Every structure is written in C-alpha cells, then in structure tokens.
Amino acid sequence: MFNVTNFSEHPSNSLYTVYKFKSGEESNTFQELLEKASLFYEADEAENSYGPIFVVAVKNKDEKLATKLNYLALGKYRKPIIENKVTRVIIYAISIVILSIATLGFFLSK
C-alpha cells in the first residue's frame, strides 16, 4: 500500500511507531526534539534499495507528540515549492487577483 507519511506501525512490535528519514540530519533533529520532550525512543540506521535510511521508533502512547515533533524536524529541512521569491510573489498576486475577480463576479451576478 502507498504511504505518503514517513511513519508507520513497527513491523514486529505493535507497541511502537517507526519514523523513517532519508538523511541523518533530519533523524538527528528529530531525536534532539524527542530528548527535549523527554520521550523514550530507539534509533538505528538501515539500508534499502535506495540507500541508507534512518529509523526512529517511539512508543505508541507518545505518538501524538512524536508526530508533531516529526513534522517540525521535516519542516526544518523542507524546501519551498517555488524557491524563487519573485516568482512566488507574482504567483500569489495573480492568484489573489483571480480570486477577487471571481468573488466580485459572484456577488454582482445576484
């Protein structure tokens, strides 16, 4: 089954959730956040067909907080969809103009 998140149930121990990272930096940031929150975890490095993968297992009872910390760790290294700031501003401006015209048309048609 296709999974769009970087976490899933532990394959052999249903008491844990496993978070998978493509880089050691992301994994280390996640581990630091877990330590600051005083959450127990186990970390390891594995190999798959795409290269090294960094895994961190957290108890299911801490899953809600760990998932929030996971998103913080991933967000720190995420690149914007549109990296060029000028292009991003132009696209936002065009979107606002189109939305404004559509809203104006909706109210004027009544």
- The conformational region for residue 38 under phi > 0 = left, psi -120 to 50 = alpha, else beta, is left
Burial class of 39 by CB neighbour count within 10 A (0 to 12, 13 to 18, 19+): middle
pLDDT digits (tens, 9 = 90+) for 76-95: 999 888 889 999 999 999 99
pLDDT band at 71 (very low <50, low <70, confident <90, very high): very high
Q: Residue 68: its pLDDT value, please?
A: 96
Give strand pairing partners of 51. 48
Q: Residue 47: its pLDDT value, please?
A: 86
- Strands 51-59 and 41-48, by their bridges, are antiparallel
Q: Is 15 helix (H, G, I), strand (E, B) or coil?
A: coil
How many degrees, rounded to 5, is the angle at CA 12 between CA 10 and CA 14? 55
Distance (Å, whole) CA 66 – CA 81: 25
Q: Is the pLDDT of residue 46 over 90?
A: no
pLDDT band at 1 (very low <50, low <70, confident <90, very high): low
